[in-house]
């Protein structure tokens, strides 16, 4: 078990390195001269050349990669020219806001999705199943950014129950209830789609498992139906649900881009959108790297949970 976790951790290293390679290659593909981009179009050729050699841009590409990687490992992600502050500082600050939003949404969608999926499977073809199926279908067909707008219109503008944007109230906010109050609408919006996906999958997985021979064995032993469903079937279904929760984490992290823009949540998503339109590429690069790393680590955790549940994987 411990050996397995170590092995998984080690296996994550090449994945993380691969991430940096992809990001590096994408950035290297950018047309134009970074030095000019940094110094502006009025820079003198000498200045450009000096900066190029400072940045190591006159060296071969693979050499540049290792210089760049070395810098990353020392925490040097470069400076954002639009914000004029170190990229890492900005990214980490923004990322914590995203983590709060995405984390809440992930917990929300996992819980709701599991419950809805199980109810749906156990009451197959009953009214609860039909309602859940319909709601789920609507959920996965709705653009989340539009759902956000609608929720703002209803709950913030019309009913005035929740704030329309931001993470904290501008005056006198900053405590936990204030945060939760601001968090509610964006988290629900972000969770909506993933809830649908998880619930659908849970339903299918449960139905699939309930037809297995070992469920018949459990019944033949005379176990109460609740034990059969919530212990035997659910544990077996989890094996196919856990990886999907891992994938949904990626959708939630990515979906945060829209939701943060809609709700003006000061997270990494809205930062990225702004950075892309201002072509602040170092900021984009830093943001993408940090979020992708977090996602890899999360999936690593999902893998470990998976082996705890399924002894056949050890």
Q: Is 6 in the site for another protein (CB under 8 A)?
A: no
Stretch binding another protein (CB under 8 A), from 64-72, 86-94, 111-119, 137-145 = 137-145
Give CA angle at 191 (200, 13), nearest 5°.
90
Contact residue for another protein among 5, 8, 27, 155 (CB under 8 A): 27
Write out the binding residues for another protein, residues 206-225 only, by CB under 8 A.
206-208, 210-225
Contact residue for another protein among 6, 13, 18, 180 (CB under 8 A): 18
Stretch binding another protein (CB under 8 A), from 85-93, 109-117, 179-187, 250-258 = 250-258
Where does 29-142 have alpha helices with state H? Answer: 34-39, 45-54, 61-73, 87-122, 127-141
Stretch binding another protein (CB under 8 A), from 35-43, 73-81, 148-156, 166-174 = 148-156
Distances (CA, A) of 128 to 23, 125, 254, 304: 46, 8, 31, 34
Give CA angle at 251 (210, 239), nearest 5°.
25
Q: Is 266 in the site for another protein (CB under 8 A)?
A: no
Contact residue for another protein among 128, 296, 302, 304 (CB under 8 A): 296
Number of residues in contact with another protein, rule: CB under 8 A?
82
User: What's the CA gap between 132 and 204, in Å, rounded?
Assistant: 13
User: What's the CA gap between 143 and 140, in Å, rounded?
Assistant: 8
How far does Cα 33 stand from its chain's mean position?
32
Give CA angle at 188 (184, 194), nearest 5°.
150
Stretch binding another protein (CB under 8 A), from 77-85, 88-96, 176-184, 280-288 = 280-288
Decide whether 59 or 219 has the Cβ nearer to another protein. Answer: 219
Distances (CA, A) of 121 to 210, 228, 238: 9, 13, 14
Decide whether 50 or 274 has the Cβ nearer to another protein. Answer: 274
Write out the binding residues for another protein, residues 67-86 only, by CB under 8 A.
none
Decide whether 156 or 179 has the Cβ nearer to another protein. Answer: 156
Burial (Cβ within 10 Å: 0-12, 13-18, ≥19) of residue 177: exposed
Burial (Cβ within 10 Å: 0-12, 13-18, ≥19) of residue 293: middle
Stretch binding another protein (CB under 8 A), from 21-29, 103-111, 166-174, 177-185 = 21-29
Q: Is 253 in the site for another protein (CB under 8 A)?
A: yes
What is the residue whose two structure tokens read 């959920």?
139
Decide whether 35 or 268 has the Cβ nearer to another protein. Answer: 268
User: What is the x/- site pattern for another protein, positions 89-128, by CB under 8 A?
Assistant: --------------------------------xx-xx---
């Amino acid at each position: 078990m411990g050996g397995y976790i170590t092995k998984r951790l080690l296996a994550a290293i090449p994945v993380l390195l691969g991430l940096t390679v992809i990001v590096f290659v994408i950035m290297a593909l950018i047309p134009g001269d970074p030095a000019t981009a940094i110094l502006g179009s009025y820079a003198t050729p000498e200045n450009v050349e000096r900066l190029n050699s400072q940045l190591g841009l006159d060296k071969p590409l693979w050499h540049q990669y290792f210089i760049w990687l070395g810098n990353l490992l020392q925490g040097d992600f470069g400076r954002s020219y639009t914000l004029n502050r170190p990229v890492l500082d900005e990214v980490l600050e923004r990322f914590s806001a995203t983590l709060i939003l995405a984390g809440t949404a992930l917990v929300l969608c996992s819980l709701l999705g599991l419950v809805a999926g199980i109810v749906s499977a156990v009451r197959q073809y009953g009214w609860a199943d039909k309602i859940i199926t319909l709601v789920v279908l609507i959920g996965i067909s709705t653009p989340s950014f539009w759902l956000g707008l609608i929720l703002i219109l209803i709950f913030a503008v019309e009913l005035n129950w929740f704030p329309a944007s931001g993470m904290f109230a501008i005056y006198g906010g900053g405590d936990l209830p204030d945060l939760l109050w601001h968090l509610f609408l964006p988290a629900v919006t972000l969770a909506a789609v993933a809830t649908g996906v998880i619930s659908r999958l849970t339903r299918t997985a449960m139905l699939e498992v309930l037809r297995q021979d070992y469920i018949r064995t459990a019944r033949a032993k005379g176990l109460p139906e609740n034990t059969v469903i919530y212990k035997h079937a659910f544990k077996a279904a989890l094996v196919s649900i856990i990886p999907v929760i891992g994938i949904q984490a990626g959708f939630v992290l990515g979906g945060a881009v829209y939701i943060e823009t809609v709700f003006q949540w000061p997270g990494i998503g809205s930062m990225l959108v702004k950075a892309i339109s201002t072509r602040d590429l170092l900021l984009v690069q830093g943001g993408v790297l940090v979020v992708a790393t977090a996602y890899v680590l999360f999936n690593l955790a999902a893998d470990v949970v998976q082996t705890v549940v399924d002894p056949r994987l050890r």
